[in-house]
Amino acid sequence: MAKPKIAMYWTGGCGGCDVSPLEVGEAIVDVLSQVEIAFWPALMDAKRADVEALPAGGIDVALINGALRTEDNVEMVRLLREKSKLVVAYGACAHLGGIIGLGNLHSAQSLVSTALGPGWHAGSPSFSANGDAPPPLTAGVVPLADVIAVDYVVPGCPPPAQLIGLFFQTLLGGEMPSPGHVFAEEKALCDQCPREKEDRRLEKFVRPHEMEPDPDRCLLDQGIVCMGPVTRGGCEAACPALGMPCTGCVGPTRKAGDLAGGMISALASLVRAGDEGEDAFAREDEVLAGLVDPVGTLYKYALATTWKRRETGGEDA
Ligand code: SF4
Ligand code: SF4
């Protein structure tokens, strides 16, 4: 059987995803011996012209990480789509827009002015004294599926070793699931978490650095916002097991649909006042108002998935 030709490409992201296959440890040697690398600029010298020279379908699987932030990102992923039989959104940025999707809280122009100074323009090349130019930015950050068809998702920031291993094992086994499959659990992370959950009523929110949590009890029960109830399992609850809350990088369960929406609903039920008198609702509001940085907490990875809808007045673009 011919070895599958794979590509790995990094768009708007931190680069962590691009090297994350090493997370599987020594097994990477076995994986690399069973695939042919057609394009992976971080690993071997390859240019855009090399991809342009390939025939349509010349790449079996393109793993694309990072969100789309520049016009160049958009052009490259369109080219890779044209040349690839399968495209995988690899990592939270490609899947959901990721942390850089929080840039959508500001205009592209204000981001460029803040980072580079006045006189620089987001939409077209604006040259500095030494001739450098930032790449033209798109109006907002979008995830991969907003621009090209995506066949599979390997989620996470970066994807955990278990899910990377699962993907390559499935690919090399030759039986891929139906398109649209997300290589993670259908069930919520709480299902994999070793902490004991009691669904206690929340009296106040606490940020992770403000307390040393009980090592055995659920973090959410202790007032730390943990996205476990709405996030897919697959990482063996790596962060909660070490005392840090889940921040939702593997993306929402099918049931939650939307990380922030699902979590707001979970939190609302945990601060419930029941029938404890007329001040009860005011107390609930007070607890909820104590949530610091609600967008950065609840939409840390998925703000960009709502951006087009907001830009078009509530309708999907
Ligand atoms: S998903 Fe996380 S690790 Fe991957 S590129 Fe984005 S920020 Fe980096
Ligand atoms: S610590 Fe987080 S992942 Fe673990 S049970 Fe509690 S909410 Fe779920």
- Read off the pLDDT of residues 15-63 as tens digits, 9 standing for 90 and up: 999 999 999 999 999 999 999 999 999 988 999 999 999 999 999 999 9
* Residue 315 pLDDT grade (very low, low, confident, very high; cuts 50, 70, 90): very low
Tokens of 127: 């040259």
* Residue 303 pLDDT grade (very low, low, confident, very high; cuts 50, 70, 90): very high
CA of 233 to the centre of ligand 2 (A): 11
Pocket test for ligand 1, best of 65, 153, 163, 239 (most atoms within 8 A of CB): 65
Taking only the tens place, the pLDDT of each residue in 61-100 is 999 999 999 999 999 999 999 999 999 999 999 999 999 9
* Residue 151 pLDDT grade (very low, low, confident, very high; cuts 50, 70, 90): very high
pLDDT score for 307:
73
Atom of ligand 1 nearest to the CA of 95: 1
Q: Which ligand is nearest to the CA of 246?
A: 2
CA distance 5 to 247: 34
Computed over every residue of the chain, the mean pLDDT equals: 91
CA of 100 to the centre of ligand 1 (A): 9
pLDDT score for 229:
97
- Assess whether pLDDT exceeds 80 at residue 123: no
Instruction: Locate the domains of the chain by residue range.
Output: 5-173, 189-302
What percent of the chain lies above the pLDDT cut of 90?
76
pLDDT score for 314:
42
For residue 158, whether the previous peptide bond is cis, meaning omega lies within 30 degrees of 0, is yes
CA of 235 to the centre of ligand 2 (A): 13
Cα 306 from chain centroid (whole Å): 13
* Residue 135 pLDDT grade (very low, low, confident, very high; cuts 50, 70, 90): confident
Query: Which residue type occupies 89?
Result: A
- Assess whether pLDDT exceeds 90 at residue 132: no
* Residue 271 pLDDT grade (very low, low, confident, very high; cuts 50, 70, 90): confident
Arch. (CATH architecture) of 5-173:
3-Layer(aba) Sandwich (3.40)
Tokens of 86: 């399968």
- Assess whether pLDDT exceeds 50 at residue 187: yes
For residue 96, give the nearest of 77, 62, 68, 61 by alpha carbon: 68
Pocket test for ligand 2, best of 191, 192, 219 (most atoms within 8 A of CB): 219
